[in-house]
């Protein structure tokens, strides 16, 4: 019989699980870190976003590490210029992840590249980190992967590296590239004609390289002058000015 302090025989509530935000790198499965691989292999629950119902690139990278019995939480993010639908998708995903964490199970959330470098995991981190223990496992970024595949050192000594998103307006791109030393332009995709025109107008085409699907079998690395007319979302432009400072 219980006393004023409750039933001594009542089961204790489970301790909360840990949310791991795991970077799986730019594409090649063997670029997943040892720590990330261990967590994915041992995971009872994995979570990852998909874009408008398409297959998850992050899951594809880690597919060989996910056990058949692993529970999967899929967050389908609508493809829309409006922010509200995507925010609602992350709200729902955070709620589903929280329910698992409250049962004492850990959740491993897969993120392309690095979770805190343009990574989708940061939206879940913002929603859950004040209530749950969250650990972030860094991954190889697309910027460093593209530099390695193109043979382009990005920065040395006191040189500055500027990272720009391709969707920026043309005038802002021009101003930021003109004032930079080394530049990585991400999210190129349909913005390639605009970016190419800006770089050509600045007289920097010869110092620029185009990379798409870095580290994957279908990888393409070309001088910008030889780049295709259309680029996929997973493409990048690297630009380095001046003499090689590492010589």
In whole angstroms, give the CA distance from residue 234 to residue 247: 31
- Neighbour-count burial of 5, counting CB atoms closer than 10 A to its CB (0-12 exposed, 13-18 middle, 19+ buried): exposed
β-partners of residue 175 are none
Pairing of strands 182-186, 235-240: antiparallel
Alpha carbon 189 to its chain centroid, in Å, reads 16
* Per-residue pLDDT tens over the stretch 114-151: 999 999 999 999 999 999 999 999 999 999 999 999 99
CATH topology of domain 143-240: 3.30.950
pLDDT level of residue 53 (50, 70, 90 thresholds): confident
Question: Which residues, in sequence order, are CB contacts of 174 under 8 Å at separation 6+?
Answer: 198, 201, 202
Tell me how far apart the terminal alpha carbons of the chain are, to the nearest angstrom. 80
β-partners of residue 185 are 164, 237
Every domain of the chain with CATH number 3.40.1010.10 lies at: 19-140
The candidate with the shortest Cα–Cα distance to 137, out of 105, 107, 167, is 107
| Residue 58 confidence (pLDDT) above 50 | yes
The pLDDT, as a whole number, for residue 233 is 87
Contact at 8 Å (CB) between 223 and 181?
A: no
The pLDDT, as a whole number, for residue 7 is 58
* Per-residue pLDDT tens over the stretch 160-188: 999 999 999 999 999 999 999 999 999 99
Every domain of the chain with CATH number 3.30.950.10 lies at: 143-240
| Residue 244 confidence (pLDDT) above 60 | no
Asked if CATH classification 3.40.1010.10 holds for the domain at 19-140, the reply, yes or no, is yes
The pLDDT, as a whole number, for residue 52 is 81
Considering Cα of 30, then 34, then 40, then 42, what sign does the dihedral take?
positive
**pTM confidence score:** 0.89
């Amino acid at each position: 019989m219980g006393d004023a302090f409750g039933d001594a025989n009542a089961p204790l509530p489970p301790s909360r699980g840990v949310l791991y935000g795991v970077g799986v790198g730019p594409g090649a499965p063997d670029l997943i870190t040892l720590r990330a691989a261990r967590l994915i292999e041992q995971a009872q629950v994995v979570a990852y976003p998909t874009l408008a119902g398409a297959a998850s690139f992050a899951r594809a990278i880690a597919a060989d590490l996910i056990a058949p019995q692993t529970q999967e939480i899929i967050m389908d993010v609508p493809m829309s210029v409006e922010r509200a639908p995507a925010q609602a998708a992350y709200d729902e995903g955070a709620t589903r992840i929280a329910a698992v964490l409250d049962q004492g199970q850990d959740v491993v959330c897969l993120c392309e590249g690095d979770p805190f470098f343009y990574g989708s995991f940061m939206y879940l981190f913002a929603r859950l980190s004040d209530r749950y223990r969250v650990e972030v496992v860094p991954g190889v970024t697309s910027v460093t992967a593209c530099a390695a595949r193109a043979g382009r050192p990005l920065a040395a000594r006191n040189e500055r590296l500027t990272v720009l998103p391709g969707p920026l307006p043309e005038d802002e791109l021009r101003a930021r590239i003109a004032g930079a030393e080394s530049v990585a332009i991400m999210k190129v995709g349909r913005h390639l004609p605009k970016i190419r025109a800006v770089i050509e107008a600045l007289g920097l085409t010869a110092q620029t390289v185009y990379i798409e699907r870095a580290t994957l079998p279908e990888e393409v690395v070309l001088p910008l002058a030889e780049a295709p007319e259309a680029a996929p979302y997973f493409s990048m432009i690297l630009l380095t000015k001046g003499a090689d400072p590492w010589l």
